[in-house]
Amino acid sequence: MKATLTLKKNLHLKGLAMGLAAAMAFGLGSADALAKDINSRIIRFGYGLADTSPTGQATRFFAEEVAKLSDGKMKVKTYGNGALGSDEQMQSALVGGSQEMTFVSTAPLAGMVKGFGVFDLPFLFDDEKVAYAVLDGKPGQALLDALPAKGLIGLLYWENGFRDLTNSRHPITKASDIEGIKLRVMQNQVALNVFKALGANAIPMPFTELFTALETKTVDGQENPLSTIQTSKFYEVQPYLTLSHHVYTPFVLLASKKWWDGLTADEKQVIQEAAKTSQAYQRKISQEGNVKAMAFIKEHGVQIDTFSAAEKQIIRDKVKPVVEELRDAIGPDTIDAVVKAAAEAQKGA
Ligand code: KDG
């Protein structure tokens, strides 16, 4: 009797092993993923940038990673070009649970967690490496940790990058050239006050409305990283570009908390791992994209200028009062932690 049972058990195990081997041979997945608690899921991932942008490419890389790690059970569907709405609308959709994922600039997120406004203060980071040290370190994590209370999961930071100024009125080479320019700014008090302090007629507006506003001259100018100026086609209607690099904007890779709370531990791990792998990739292609965009924009006849060190100092001096004025609105602890971590990273570089 015992012998029959053992035989049956062995045959059963052998059968399972053969089934698994067959499944793998037919490309049905790795033993590892099949053993995990992963369900079939559709993940809607919307964003405002062009789907041809480097970050658009990174969303597809992320989708492939998720598929790989979940054996095709978790499918990320990406929607670029603002097809699911503006950054703010998608943030709300995530909170409500009608959309699963997005990436947004930190500027509109400051409406939910005021500390994110710190990243709209000009000339905070000298280069990308300093930005990464701050974002991937304690100050960046502290801001992400404040998101679940607002209904969002901040997985990690991707790169939007250093922003440059474009306009259709005239070349901007001096701080005073900004005066009177109708400039679209991202939607928060810090971005608004910074450009008001520089004398611009600053107009907050969602990214999704920006191209039309530039084309119809509702606004004269805008500021964004070079790859966005190329892939969102701003260069077609903006003949003047100034390499101002005035601010580094991070992207936050976001998930809906409502959705996240319903995932199994294995499913959460898939998303977290794919996010981690995608981060290095996204930052790399984002920087490569800016180099390519610079050549492209030049070729397409845009006049490219820079600010001298003296003009940059004038800008710093003009925006200094804004930092003081908004210190409490952003949070003194956040500002101090970011400034200190940036100085340490700069020293160590
Ligand atoms: O997909 C992200 C965009 O919607 C936006 O965040 C880009 O930096 C941006 C801007 O100017 O609004």
Question: What integer is the mean pLDDT of 187-192?
Answer: 96
Give the pLDDT score at 134.
98
pLDDT of 141 reads: 98
Report, as an integer, the average pLDDT of 237-253. Answer: 98
Gap from CA of 347 to ligand 1 centroid (Å): 31
What pLDDT, on a 0 to 100 scale, did the predictor assign at position 33? Answer: 62
Give yes or no for residue 349 having a pLDDT over 80. Answer: no
Cα of 132 to ligand 1 centre, how many Å?
19
Is the pLDDT assigned to residue 106 strictly greater than 70? Answer: yes
Q: What is the pTM of this model?
A: 0.90
Residue nearest to atom 6 of ligand 1 (CA): 105
CA of 240 to the centre of ligand 1 (A): 20
Q: Give nearest CA residue, ligand 1 atom 3.
A: 48
Question: How does residue 21 score in pLDDT terms, banded at 50, 70 and 90?
Answer: very low
- Range with lowest mean pLDDT among 17-21, 47-51, 169-173, 282-286: 17-21
Mutation probe of ligand 1 site: the residue of 79, 87, 184 with most atoms within 8 A of C-beta: 87
Using one digit for the tens of pLDDT, what is the confidence trace for 49-66? Answer: 999 999 999 999 999 999
Coil, strand, or helix at residue 289?
helix
The closest alpha carbon to 235, from 251, 247, 224, 219, belongs to: 224
Task: Assign 32 a pLDDT band (cuts: 50, 70, 90).
Answer: low
Confidence of residue 34 (pLDDT cuts 50, 70, 90): low
What would be the CATH architecture of the domain defined by 39-348? 3-Layer(aba) Sandwich (3.40)
Out of 21-35, 240-254, 325-339, pick the least confident.
21-35
Q: E strand or H helix at 89, and its extent?
A: helix 87-96
- Which residues, 6 or more positions from 272, have their beta carbon under 8 angstroms from its beta carbon? 155
Residue 249 near ligand 1, beta carbon < 6 Å: yes
pLDDT for residue 208:
98
pLDDT at 136 over 70: yes
How far is residue 146 CA from its own chain's centroid?
17
With beta carbons less than 8 A apart as the criterion, state whether 194 and 323 touch. no
Is residue 324 within 8 A of residue 197, CB to CB? The reply is: no
Q: Whose CA is nearest to atom 2 of ligand 1?
A: 48
The answer, yes or no, to whether any atom of ligand 1 lies below 6 A from the CB of 49, is yes
Contacts of residue 5, Cβ cutoff 8 Å, sequence gap at least 6: none
User: What would the pLDDT profile of 148-186 be if each residue is shown by its tens digit?
Assistant: 999 999 999 999 999 999 999 999 999 999 999 999 999
DSSP structural state of residue 237: T
87 lines ligand 1 (CB under 6 A): yes
Rg (CA), the chain: 24
Concatenated DSSP letters of 144-194: HHTSGGGTEEEEEEEEEEE-EEEESSS---SGGGGTT-EEEE-SSHHHHHH
How much is the pLDDT for 35? 77
In the structure, what pLDDT confidence band is assigned to residue 230 with cuts at 50, 70 and 90?
Answer: very high
Q: Whose CA is nearest to atom 4 of ligand 1?
A: 48
- 226-256: b or e for each residue (b if 16 or more CB lie within 10 Å)? bbbbbbbebbeebbbbbebbbbbbbbbbbbb
303 forms beta bridges with 240
Better-predicted residue by pLDDT, 335 or 11? 335
pLDDT of 10 above 70: no
Whether the CB of 229 sits within 6 Å of ligand 1 = no
Is residue 47 lining ligand 1, measured as CB closer than 6 Å? yes
Give me ligand 1 centre to Cα 231, in Å: 12
Q: Express the helix, strand and coil content of the chain in percent, nearest 5 each.
A: 55, 15, 30
For residues 131 and 127, what is the distance between their CA atoms, to the nearest angstrom?
7
CB 230 within 8 A of CB 49: no
**Which atom of ligand 1 lies closest to the CA of 222?**
11
C-alpha 49 to ligand 1 mean position (Å): 6
Calculate how far, in angstroms, residue 207's C-alpha sits from the geometric centre of ligand 1.
Answer: 5
